[in-house]
Structure 1
Amino acid sequence: MLESCVTYSVLPASDLRRATQWYRDKLGLEPEDTMESGVRYATGTDAKILIYETANAGSAKNTAMCWIVPDIEDAMGSLREKGVVFEDYDFPGLKTENGIATDSSGRSSWFRDSEGNYLCLTELS
């Protein structure tokens, strides 16, 4: 039943106004809809992103959302020009070089939004 349904990501923000500005200025996303529950963004597919205000924002230490990109260096370069900082990791099972980790499925990089949520770019092999 669910295999054919569209999904959407739900991300917390401790300051919805700050998050909305960050997603516009850093990622180039404009809200599709503003509602009482938060701000919703459209992506290049039917998938959506909903950002809502809560005191729990930034408390998760895992990847909250990932974009599949055709060229990770190009995507990272565009985001770096806007001030996005990519994480570097060096521990068993995950080591980045210039912000990129490589494994059999492809290459990935991580950054945090204004609210501390971990976001990811992935270029599939």
Structure 2
Amino acid sequence: MVDLGTAHATIAVTDLDRAKKFYGETLGLSAKEERSDGVVYESGGTWMLVYPSSFAGTNQATCMTFEVSDVDTAVEELAGRGVTFEQYDFPGMKTDARGIAEIQGERGAWFKDPDGNILAVGQRT
């Protein structure tokens, strides 16, 4: 059996400087390392690589969720920093006016980075 370790995300962007402003300033993530292929950020004991690619923003599904202790507080704080939360109305999932949905023991809210990558904040209930 393969011994899989901690997972990390790789997120494609078109403009690395714009992405650094969003992930660093807007989301408040700490840049751990600037590399030739992008920037490594730390979050919650793991890391993610934001890197330039012509395929940025083409994924139409959630690419990463940040686990939070309180979705309401996270949404309020991020909205105050200019983040716009998505509105969804799917079978089995509908967001409220703030963009928060409850799904099978979790509450979550979705937003996009400047390239259209779908990110979320989630809280287990």
TM-score, normalised to structure 1, is 0.93
Secondary structure of 2:95 counterpart:
strand
Match of 1:29 in 2: 29
TM-score, normalised to structure 2, is 0.93
Question: Is there any run of 5+ residues in structure 1 with no aligned partner, and where?
Answer: none
Distance 2:38 2:92 in 1: 36
CA shift, 1:2, in A, is 3.3
CA shift, 1:59, in A, is 0.6
Distance 1:2 1:121 in 2: 28
Aligned residues: 123
Match of 2:123 in 1: 123
Match of 1:17 in 2: 17
Distance 1:104 1:117 in 2: 24
Secondary structure of 2:40 counterpart:
strand
Distance 1:32 1:117 in 2: 21
CA shift, 1:68, in A, is 1.0
CA shift, 1:103, in A, is 1.9
CA RMSD of aligned residues (A): 1.1
1:2 aligns with 2:29: no
Match of 1:82 in 2: 81
Which 4+ stretches in 1 moved above 2 angstroms?
none
